[in-house]
């Protein structure tokens, strides 16, 4: 049996960090392009099953036109069975599109834990019916004569917090089950390995600089006789968020720094966070540097430079700053040296 596993598409998310550069709408179009690329792959390879493990869309922002677009894509693959397990961003609510919209007949949306079965395969799915979900009890006995699949939005090895749970479950608990494949959603970084059975595909397209690397879908095939699982990762996202470091130790003016950043040769297919490193020799505030950048693909600039301080000289000053530095320098040993010097720098930067 052939299947595709995606999660965390987040259709109609605002892409706030890109809105400052006027790129948010472009990114939403790229969402559609990635989704259509997946549909084309299904058509060309006659994929039998599509598993969507939650957060297909943003409940707060999604438009009806987007739901209609998604459903029109599903209509392009009428011979593919589509199973959706709503997540914490798109829960199955009374007034949600999952409940109120008439989806194509090849779509099944899970609410709570249920099982869909045929002669060859049993598919278990769990869907959020609220924005939070406590841990669920998984089935303990499976029909081992069939292929058993579990699809759900879940926080692997997650713990409770004051805001609620996102269906926390232990990896060790899942490993002790007889599921042949466990299709998860919620974590936006993929954990793909060919020999794993518990898989996060990651977000289908990257949403920000906390989602570096390639993004796409898991393509799988399970042998109906041996139940051996073969997997591969296929990239769907044409854009990539990357970080680029620049040592500015030899730059002595803000103007020179702006010219240096604007002169960087960058790829159009990537969004960049520029990280400034080294020693800062510029007195001016460089945290607002982004407004002078001409390349629209530079989305963010982070200042990770350090200022040069003559600590021995400062320690001799008859001031609160001098007393503070002197006392901390006297406490330095081999074990705490780095920590104390970092603490001194933080405080001096604030003075």
Rounded CA separation 213/10 (Å): 18
* pTM, 2 dp: 0.87
In this structure, are 121 and 217 located in the same domain?
Answer: yes
Bridge-based pairing of strands 121-127 and 112-117 is antiparallel
Q: CB pairs under 8 A, 24+ apart, for 108-117?
A: 108/81, 108/82, 108/83, 108/84, 109/84, 110/83, 110/84, 110/85, 110/86, 110/151, 111/86, 113/137, 113/138, 113/139, 115/139, 116/83, 117/146
Specify whether the CB–CB gap between 138 and 125 falls below 8 A.
no
Taking the C-alpha atoms of residue 217 and residue 8, their distance in angstroms, rounded to an integer, is 11
- Where in 128-228 does DSSP place strands (E)? 147-153, 155-156, 168-169, 181-185, 198-199, 216-222
Predicted local distance difference test score (pLDDT) of residue 158: 62
Question: What's the number of domains the chain is made of?
Answer: 3
Q: How high is the pLDDT of residue 208? A: 94
The pLDDT of residue 178 is: 93
DSSP-assigned states of every residue in 14-63:
--HHHHTTT-HHHHHHHHHHHHHHHHHHHHHHT--EEEE-S-SB-TTT--
Q: Of the candidates 335, 105, 329, which has an alpha carbon nearest to the alpha carbon of residue 344?
A: 329
Residues 40 and 78 in one domain: yes
Q: Indicate if 202 and 82 belong to the same structural domain.
A: yes
Whether residues 261 and 345 share a domain: the answer is no
Domain at 207, CATH number: 3.60.21.10
Q: In what order do the strands lie in the sheet with 2-6?
A: 107-109, 81-84, 49-52, 2-6, 216-222, 229-235
| Strand ranges across the sheet with 181-185 | 112-117, 121-127, 147-153, 181-185, 198-199
Q: Do 64 and 145 belong together in one domain?
A: yes
CA distance 351 to 345: 10
Helix (H/G/I), strand (E/B), else coil: 174: helix
Q: List the structure tokens of 116.
A: 């869909």
The list of the chain residues with pLDDT below 70 reads: 158-164, 284, 351
Domain-ending residue, one of 235, 261, 296: 235
Domain boundary among 235, 258, 287: 235
Residue 201 and residue 253 in one domain: no
Residue position matching structure tokens 């930067």: 349
- Domain assignment of residue 263, given as a range: 240-308
């Amino acid at each position: 049996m052939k299947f595709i596993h995606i999660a965390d598409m987040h259709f109609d998310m605002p892409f706030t960090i890109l809105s400052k550069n006027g790129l948010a709408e472009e990114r939403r179009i790229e969402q559609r392009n990635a989704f259509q690329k997946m549909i084309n792959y299904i058509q060309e390879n006659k994929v039998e099953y599509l598993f969507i493990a939650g957060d297909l869309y943003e409940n707060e922002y999604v438009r009806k036109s987007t739901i209609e677009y998604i459903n029109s894509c599903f209509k392009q693959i009428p011979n593919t069975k589509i199973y959706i397990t709503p997540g914490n961003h798109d829960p199955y609510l009374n007034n949600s599109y999952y409940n109120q919209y008439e989806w194509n007949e090849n779509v099944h949306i899970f609410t709570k834990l249920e099982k869909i079965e045929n002669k060859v395969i049993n598919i278990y799915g769990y869907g959020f019916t609220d924005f939070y979900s406590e841990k669920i009890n998984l089935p303990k006995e499976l029909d081992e004569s069939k292929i058993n699949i579990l699809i759900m939005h879940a926080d692997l090895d997650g713990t409770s917090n004051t805001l609620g749970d996102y269906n926390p479950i232990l990896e060790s608990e899942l490993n002790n089950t007889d599921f042949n494949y466990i299709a998860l959603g919620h974590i936006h970084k993929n954990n793909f390995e060919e020999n794993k059975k518990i898989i996060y595909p990651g977000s289908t397209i990257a949403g920000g600089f906390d989602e570096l690397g390639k993004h796409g879908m898991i393509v799988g095939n399970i042998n109906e006789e041996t139940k051996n699982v073969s997997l591969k990762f296929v990239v769907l996202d044409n854009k990539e968020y990357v970080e680029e470091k620049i040592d500015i130790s030899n730059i002595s003016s803000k103007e020179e720094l702006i010219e240096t950043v604007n002169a960087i040769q960058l790829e159009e297919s990537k969004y960049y966070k520029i990280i400034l490193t080294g020693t800062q020799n510029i007195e001016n505030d460089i945290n607002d540097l982004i407004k002078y950048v001409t390349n629209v693909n530079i989305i963010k600039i982070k200042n990770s430079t350090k200022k040069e301080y003559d600590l021995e000289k400062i320690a001799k000053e008859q001031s609160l700053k001098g007393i503070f530095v002197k006392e901390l320098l006297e406490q330095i040993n081999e074990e705490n040296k780095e920590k104390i010097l970092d603490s001194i720098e933080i405080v001096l930067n604030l003075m």
